[in-house]
Every structure is written in structure tokens, then in C-alpha cells.
């Protein structure tokens, strides 16, 4: 009976063929029993994975294929808009339209700039805080972690709302305090609106990433750190030379998730769009997709933009992984 | 390196940065429109919290109560059912051998990487073709899909459920599904709570999908409801206290969940990120 059972708990393991071999080797009752067990296990696997599989087909695979199909067609809404429009195959025309649309390109420009500001601050501040907590010099470590993590529990739309109020002159105690010292800062003006958006996203995610780094730092074997300290390295040097290189993979992970999240940026700028004219309704690629589909009713255009965004996301996360692997090889 | 006092000061400043905006929300919810726009946060002369709360639940025929219940339904039911689906799949990926397993798991990982918002439009059109747009199901079914939960489920199954225990249960004559429910699932408890908590947060924060799918205000979750009220408030500023008070109540459940279930999300983040 035991032959067919994968008692090994290791996650990555090639498909188990030993069961078949063993069933052939033994004869009679035992092999029949092994076969029954294997069938039972296959049924169990199907039952346990089945619901997820159906869900994946319904809300992931079908829409994915549908998006690609849609991007190749255009619906003509001639006449009075009654009944179904006339669907025409237009090949890559929607792609050409999206790629030559300056508002779509500027959305990627916004994301690019967003990342240039966000990624260094996110990595330096959250890793820095994690190093401080890990160094043992900080009191009330658990409480500090909880407080820093708390904004993660605030929905993006509410985070954007809070900060929008904190940026608005007349409502904001921050703007008031600054003007009290003679500084007039226009957080929602042309120069600062993007950094202001970055701040909302950073506020939301800083603690979460700090906990990820902290967990990675805690996983470093203590002997390694003790050895460095015995060599006479200062805490500063230990952090730079020993700890940071050992959490390199985590840095890559954090950067990758930041890139994927930034490409999906929608909620926060959409809230800003309600009152700040500088944030247009096509400010980010995702807002462009929504605008094309629901304000302009151009599904072909919207789907083509979605497919392009999808490809960019995949290429970028692949590139980040490759870049990190190359670093590993060099070591 | 920075000394002990400096280290404490830096962490303190960071904690103030994360906490003060939430404190602002708390104080602002006690203000009426005039006090809110006067930005006199610490004057309690015009304490209007009770008035704001009463107005909040009576505005537009008590629609805020609907939003609250909807959010609870989408999030608690969705995360409960969704994490059960994900964790069982993750468990099966870890414990059983079948053909094409690693390929199927690779597909799950692709699901983690693909931005879900990209699929909102086709999802809307699929839902529309089966007449589910603008119904509870249009939001509820898609949020059940949690490929990252499957990944975590597999990691947890590998870590928490030894094969010998399953063997013992089989020896006792228990079937596979019974073994999963009675033996494995209780051992997966902490992992299950982690997946549940992550999914609860994601659904509670969900904004894009409801915006695409719903036009009936009575089906809105809090995020979308507060968004529409905020847009109304730009025209009628008297609605601002409603938005602020409504936002405050909307962050309470998740903050409570995170404070109460600390040891779960801490271990969960560790399992998910440290490979």
C-alpha cells in the first residue's frame, strides 16, 4: 500500500512513477490493492483541486482568452444602438491604435516615474526599519511592528481619501502647520501630485514590506552574524556586508511585487481624479482600460490595452527574476 | 551605526507616520463640516460624532448599512469559501502524485503573476453574457479565485502535515477526503487562517471589480459606496463628514482582525516570502 503514497512532504517533486513499477513487480492481491489506493488518491486529488480548477477556468482562463479574441475585433454601433452591434474582425488595428495613442503612452510614463520614486524609498525605508528592529536596539519591537503594519489594514480607497484630505488646503492640519512656518506647499499641484500619490501607496505598504524583510533577516543563521561581530565588524558594517547580501532574494521579491502593483495602479489616482484636474481619467494604463471600455464603449481598444499591459507585466516580472538570477550566478 | 537612542527615534518617527493619518481620521469623524474645514482637530467644542453616526446610517435611506453588510458578506463568506478551495487544492498538489502536476501548478503561479484587474473587462463581458452583471454573484464568484492561496496552501501542507500522519489515518481505514477533513485540515489551521486573512483583506479592499460589475447601489461594498459619496461631496460639502465617519467605521473590522490574529499573519508572511 505504501508504494503509491507520496509520503515525502517536499513540495517540488517530479511526478511519482514508483507506484506503477511496484504494482507490476508484486503480484495478485497486493497489486490490486495498490491500484485501488492509487485510484482513490487520484479521485481525491481531483475532488480537492476540482473546485479551484473550475474557478480558474471561469474567472481566469476564459476571460484571458476572451480578452485576446476581443482585442482582434471591433464592434460597430451604427444606427440607434438597438440590438447587437456589427462585429468586424480588425486584426491588430486596435493594437496599433493603442500603441500610437499618446494618452496610453503617457500612462506608462506615469508608472515609470512612479516606480523611479517609489522603489528606492520603499526598499531603503522598509529594509532600514527591519534592520533596526533586527539589531535588537529598539524597544517594544512587537508593538512597533504592529503599528508600522497597521496601514495595510486600511483599504486603498480609504488611504487615498485620508491623504487627499491631508493634502487639501483648508482641511489639512499638515498644510496649515506648514503655512504657519511660512512654507506653502501645493501637494496636489503639478510638481507634487505624483510624489503625493507615491506617498499614499508607500504608506499603505511600508509596514507589510518591513515585516517581509524582518522575517528574512530573522532567518539568517545567528552564527554568521556572530562571526562577523567576533571579527570586530561594527553593527553598521555587519548590516551592510553580511545581512543585506543575505536578503538579496527578498529585495528582488519586494521590487517585483512593487512593479506588478504599480502597473495595476487604479484606485488611488481614480479618487484623486474626482477633484484634481491634473489626474486625468486616463492617468494610468488601468484607468485607460476602464475609460476605453466604459466611457468610450470601445471594447476592442480596451482589450488591446489590457493585453499589452499583461504582456508588459509578464516581461517585467520575468526580467526582474532573470536579473536576480544573474546576480546569484556571479556569486 | 546609529546609536541606540537614534534607532528608537527613527522607529518612533516611522510609527508616527503610519499612525497619525489614522488618528486624523478618528478625530475628523468627530467634527461637523465647519470644524472639518476649519482644520481645528483638537477643539472638542463641536463634538459631532453621534450626530455624524446618526446621519451616516440614515442618509439615502440607510444605504450605508447595506454597504457594510455587503462588504461583510463578500469578504467573510468569500474569504472563508475561497481559502477552503485554495488550501484544499494546495494540499492536493503537495500530497498526491498525478500526471501533469507540475505543469498545472505552473499555471497556478502564472495566475499569481497576472494582474487581475487586466481581466476585469472580459470578466464583465462573460458575466454579462450569462446575465450576472449587476448581481451579488458578479463580485462574489471572481473574488473566490486566489492562486496565491494555493501556493501558500502547498507550502503549509509541506510544512505542517507529515506524510506519516496521513499513513496512520489510512491504516485506520479512513478515506482520502475524510483524512483531509479530519486529520490534515486541523493541522493546517494556522496556515488556513493566514490565507483567510490575506483574502479577507484583498476582498475588503476590492474596488475595481465592483466598479466594473455593479450599478445597483444596494449591492455596493463600502469601498465603492464611499467613493460615490466622496464624489457627491465635491458638490455638497455637507456630505464630507459622512464620508469621513463612514471611512472610519470601514477600517475598524480589518484593524481589529489584524490586531487579534497577529501571530497568524506574521507566520504567514514568513512562509510566503522566505523560500
A161-184 per-position pLDDT tens digit: 999 989 988 788 888 888 888 878
ipTM score = 0.89
Residue-averaged pLDDT of chain A? 82
Residues of chain B with pLDDT > 70: what percent? 93
Concatenating the DSSP letter of every residue in A61-99 gives: IHHHHHHHHHTTEEEE--TTS-S--EEEE-TTHHHHHHH
Do B158 and A41 count as a contact with CB atoms less than 8 A apart?
A: no
Distance from the B61 Cα atom to the nearest Cα atom in chain A, whole angstroms = 23
Q: Evaluate if residue A326 carries a pLDDT over 70.
A: no
B99 contact A CB<8A: yes
Residue pLDDT, tens place only, A90-127: 878 889 988 999 999 999 999 999 999 999 999 999 99
Q: How many residues appear in chain A?
A: 331
Phi, psi of B116 (to 5 degrees): -70, -30
In chain B, what residues touch A43 (CB-CB under 8 Å)? 176
Residue among A278, A308, A258 at smallest CA distance from A189? A278
**Contact pairs from chain A to chain B, CB under 8 Å:** 308
Residue pLDDT, tens place only, B156-187: 898 888 888 888 888 888 888 888 888 888 88
B136 contact A CB<8A: no
Q: What is the mean pLDDT of residues B235-248?
A: 87
With bands split at pLDDT 50, 70 and 90, how would you rate the model's confidence at A158?
very high
Q: Evaluate if residue A6 carries a pLDDT over 70.
A: no
Q: Pick the residue with more confidence: A200 or B32?
A: A200
Q: How many CB atoms lie within 10 A of CB A20?
A: 14
In chain A, what residues touch B262 (CB-CB under 8 Å)? 142, 146
- Of B67-71, B115-119, B257-261, the one with minimum mean pLDDT is B115-119
Mapped onto helix, strand or coil, the DSSP state of residue A297 is: coil
Alpha-carbon distance of A19 to A42, in angstroms, equals 12
User: Are B90 and B152 within 8 A, CB to CB?
Assistant: yes
Q: What is the mean pLDDT of residues B120-147?
A: 92
Touching A: B residues 209-228, CB under 8 Å: 211-212, 222-223, 226-227
In eight-state DSSP terms, residue A241 is I
Residues A187/A188/A191/A193 CA torsion (nearest 10 deg): 100
Alpha-carbon distance of A81 to B124, in angstroms, equals 19
**A112 Cβ contact partners less than 8 Å away, ≥ 6 residues apart:** none
Instruction: Quote the cell numbers at residue A190.
Output: 503639478
Instruction: Quote the cell numbers at residue A62.
Output: 476564459
With bands split at pLDDT 50, 70 and 90, how would you rate the model's confidence at A33?
low
Amino acid at each position: 500500500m505504501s508504494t503509491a503514497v507520496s509520503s515525502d512532504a517536499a513540495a517540488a517533486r517530479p511526478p511519482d512513477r514508483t507506484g506503477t513499477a511496484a504494482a507490476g513487480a508484486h503480484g495478485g492481491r497486493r497489486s490490486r490493492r495498490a491500484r485501488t489506493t492509487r485510484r482513490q488518491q487520484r479521485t481525491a486529488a481531483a475532488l480537492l483541486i476540482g473546485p479551484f480548477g473550475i474557478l480558474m477556468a471561469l474567472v481566469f482562463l476564459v476571460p484571458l482568452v476572451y480578452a485576446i479574441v476581443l482585442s482582434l475585433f471591433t464592434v460597430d454601433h451604427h444606427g440607434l444602438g438597438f440590438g447587437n452591434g456589427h462585429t468586424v474582425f480588425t486584426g491588430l488595428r486596435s493594437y496599433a491604435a493603442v500603441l500610437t495613442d499618446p494618452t496610453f503612452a503617457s500612462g506608462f510614463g506615469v508608472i515609470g516615474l512612479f516606480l523611479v520614486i517609489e522603489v528606492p524609498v520603499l526598499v531603503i525605508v522598509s529594509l532600514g526599519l527591519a534592520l533596526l528592529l533586527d539589531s535588537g536596539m529598539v524597544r517594544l519591537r512587537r508593538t512597533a511592528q504592529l503599528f508600522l503594519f497597521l496601514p495595510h489594514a486600511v483599504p486603498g480607497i480609504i488611504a487615498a481619501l485620508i491623504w487627499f484630505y491631508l493634502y487639501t488646503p483648508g482641511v489639512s492640519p499638515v498644510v496649515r502647520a506648514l503655512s504657519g512656518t511660512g512654507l506653502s506647499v501645493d501637494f496636489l499641484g503639478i510638481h507634487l501630485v505624483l510624489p503625493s500619490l507615491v506617498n499614499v501607496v508607500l504608506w499603505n505598504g511600508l509596514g507589510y514590506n518591513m515585516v517581509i524583510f524582518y522575517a528574512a533577516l530573522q532567518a539568517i543563521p545567528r552564527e554568521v552574524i556572530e562571526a562577523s561581530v567576533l571579527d570586530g565588524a561594527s553593527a553598521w558594517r555587519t548590516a551592510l556586508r553580511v545581512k543585506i547580501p543575505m536578503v538579496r532574494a527578498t529585495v528582488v521579491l519586494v521590487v517585483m511585487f512593487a512593479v506588478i502593483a504599480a502597473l495595476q495602479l487604479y484606485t488611488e489616482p481614480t479618487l484623486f481624479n474626482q477633484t484634481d484636474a491634473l489626474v486625468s481619467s486616463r492617468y494610468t494604463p488601468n484607468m485607460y482600460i476602464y475609460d476605453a471600455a466604459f466611457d468610450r464603449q470601445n471594447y476592442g481598444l480596451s482589450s488591446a490595452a489590457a493585453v499589452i499591459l499583461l504582456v508588459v507585466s509578464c516581461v517585467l516580472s520575468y526580467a526582474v527574476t532573470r536579473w536576480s538570477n544573474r546576480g546569484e550566478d556571479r556569486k | 551605526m546609529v546609536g541606540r537612542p537614534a534607532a528608537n527615534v527613527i522607529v518612533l518617527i516611522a510609527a508616527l507616520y503610519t499612525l497619525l493619518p489614522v488618528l486624523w481620521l478618528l478625530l475628523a469623524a468627530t467634527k461637523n463640516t465647519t470644524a472639518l474645514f476649519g482644520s481645528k482637530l483638537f477643539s472638542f467644542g463641536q463634538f459631532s460624532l453621534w450626530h455624524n453616526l446618526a446621519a451616516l446610517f440614515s442618509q439615502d435611506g440607510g444605504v450605508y448599512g447595506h454597504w457594510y453588510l455587503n462588504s461583510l458578506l463578500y469578504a467573510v463568506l468569500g474569504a472563508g469559501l475561497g481559502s477552503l478551495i485554495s488550501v484544499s487544492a494546495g494540499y492536493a498538489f503537495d500530497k498526491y502524485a498525478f500526471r501533469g502536476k507540475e505543469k498545472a501548478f505552473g499555471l497556478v503561479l502564472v495566475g499569481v503573476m497576472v494582474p487581475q484587474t487586466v481581466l476585469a473587462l472580459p470578466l464583465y463581458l462573460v458575466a454579462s453574457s450569462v446575465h450576472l452583471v449587476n448581481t451579488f454573484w458578479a463580485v462574489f464568484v471572481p473574488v473566490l479565485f486566489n492562486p496565491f492561496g494555493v501556493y501558500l496552501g502547498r507550502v503549509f501542507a509541506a510544512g505542517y502535515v507529515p506524510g506519516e500522519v496521513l499513513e496512520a489515518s489510512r491504516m485506520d481505514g479512513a478515506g482520502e477526503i475524510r483524512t483531509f477533513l479530519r486529520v490534515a485540515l486541523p493541522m493546517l489551521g494556522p496556515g488556513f487562517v493566514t490565507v483567510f486573512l490575506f483574502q479577507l483583506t484583498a476582498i475588503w479592499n476590492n474596488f475595481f471589480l465592483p466598479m466594473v460589475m455593479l450599478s445597483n447601489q444596494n449591492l455596493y461594498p463600502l469601498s465603492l459606496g464611499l467613493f460615490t459619496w466622496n464624489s457627491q461631496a465635491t458638490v455638497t460639502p455637507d456630505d464630507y463628514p459622512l464620508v469621513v465617519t463612514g471611512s472610519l467605521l470601514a477600517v475598524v473590522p480589518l484593524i481589529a482582525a489584524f490586531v487579534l490574529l497577529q501571530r497568524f499573519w506574521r507566520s504567514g508572511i514568513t512562509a510566503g516570502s522566505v523560500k
